[in-house]
Amino acid sequence: MQKSQEGFTWTAKGDFQGKSVLLVEARDRIGGRCWTAEAGDDTKVELGGTWVHWQQPHVFSELQRYDLANFQETVAFPENGEFVVKESRSHPARVQNSAEGQVMMERLEGLMEKFFDNPDYLELDKLSLADRIAQLDSCSQEERSMLSAHTASFYGVSPEKVSFAEVLHTHALCNFDPAMMDIAIMKYKIARGTTAFARAILDDYKRARIFGSPFVSKFVIPTIPINVISSITFDPPLSTLQREVFSTGVTPAKSDKLLVCTSSDLRNGFNVTCEGGDMPYTSGFADGKHGNHTLLTLLAHPGNNLDRSEENIRLMETLRPTGIQVDSACGHLWSEDSYAGGVTPVRGPEFLQKYHDAIRRPHGQVHLCGSDFADGGRGFISGVFEDAYRVTRDILR
């Protein structure tokens, strides 16, 4: 048995409501797509899932349970909009000063209202983001470009591959309020970090666990990401629809995450989303102050080798505004992580009607579970808990 950060195999007496439980984890750490790293100077950086909000009830109640509901703020929002770019593949970059940045973010908010304004939900499920933007006759080319860059940046894949219903779903969970959407999905970070959160849950679990071991036998609750399920053989095989989803039904968002500390004076306002073009990243924003440094978060296209520091610096030289000084940087290549297969599975048009129920159906004793399968909070940390409640209920029943 391998030694790991989380200890050796450990067998405990006791069970959970009459069921014995064994935790099997392929990595040598807990947390999966949530992972906090120390970046010197008492700076903690989140390499994976980061932002949470009380609009996401399941994660918020678990944070309360473990006394971890203290937050740090990301500061890349309109009130601080020093530097704002919303650039699509077809439209040139827009670079603004603080006052113009704020106007631009307000304008974007109005555009998002138009974008979401359509009550026919089943028809909308057939649309991609690109289809929906093409329907907005009253918008100028520049406005469409802003919308395209902004909405596609949530997923890191091109707007043709993203189901409009997915974005609408998140919008609905944010009270149909575009301003709330920015705040709920990209503002509050857990002060002690997501790894501290995962460890608190693991400490509470107190049952048998195996780390550093991809599972090889039959399991009841695989909580593995949709992007990597197709690498696992199920016997008997999964249903045809399930296999279709796991092999071709989703587009893995292959963004890599890079965190950069800079002492350049950005006065904190920095919010950029670029859809392809010459920029190596899809989005970048100021992520809080650490002493004299500003932390920048970048979600980058794969293939930039962001874990190598010279490349990091070269990447930053291509940033607008130019001349940002990189003091330190670290990141993780989610695109090459064989236990994640990318950031998240991106659902395309018609996914909801064709596949959503099918992937959540138990396969004999196998219950697929995790944030990727959640009904409400899919793609978010909150979805982890929401879906665990569902599957635990089903199994106990």
User: Which positions lie near ligand FAD, rule CB under 6 A?
Assistant: 24-27, 32-34, 48-52, 214-215, 223-225, 228, 232, 257, 334, 339-340, 343-344, 370-372, 379-381, 383-384
The residue with tokens 């940046």 is: 153
157 token code pair: 């894949």
CA distance linking residue 152 with residue 3, whole number of Å: 41
Give, to the nearest 10 degrees, the angle between helix 164-173 and helix 351-360: 70
Shortest separation between residue 217's beta carbon and ligand FAD, angstroms: 11
Q: Which is nearer to ligand FAD, 124 or 167 (CB)?
A: 167
- Residue closer to ligand FAD (CB basis): 127 or 298: 298
We find the least distance from the C-beta atom of residue 297 to ligand FAD, in angstroms, to be 9
Which pairing describes strands 84-87 and 271-274: parallel, antiparallel, or unpaired? parallel
Total H helices, total E strands in the chain:
13, 15
- Closer of 111 and 343 to ligand FAD (Cβ): 343
> Shortest gap between Cβ of 67 and ligand FAD (angstroms)?
19
Give the C-alpha separation, 59 to 74, whole Å: 18
Q: Which is nearer to ligand FAD, 22 or 99 (CB)?
A: 22
H or E stretch covering 391: helix 381-396
Task: For ligand FAD, give the closer residue by CB, 53 or 86.
Answer: 53
**Residue 287: CB atoms within 10 Å:** 27
Q: How many CA atoms lie within 13 A of 251 on its CB side?
A: 18
Shortest Cβ distance from residue 53 to ligand FAD (Å)? 9
Bridge partner residues of 252 (DSSP)? 345
**Cα separation, 326 vs 315, whole angstroms:** 10
CA distances from 23 to 79, 214, 235 (A): 45, 11, 21
Shortest gap between Cβ of 47 and ligand FAD (angstroms)? 7
CB nearer ligand FAD, residue 146 or residue 384: 384
One-letter amino acid of 106? E
User: Is 202 within 8 Å of 77 (Cβ atoms)?
Assistant: no
Shortest CB 95 distance to ligand FAD, Å? 26
Task: Pick the closer one to ligand FAD by CB: 30 or 111.
Answer: 30
ω before 57 within 30° of 0 (cis)? no
Q: How far is the CB of 12 from ligand FAD (least distance, A)?
A: 20
The nearer residue to ligand FAD, 78 or 252, going by C-beta atoms, is 252
Shortest approach of ligand FAD to residue 281 CB, angstroms?
12
Give residue 352's identity as a one-letter amino acid code.
L
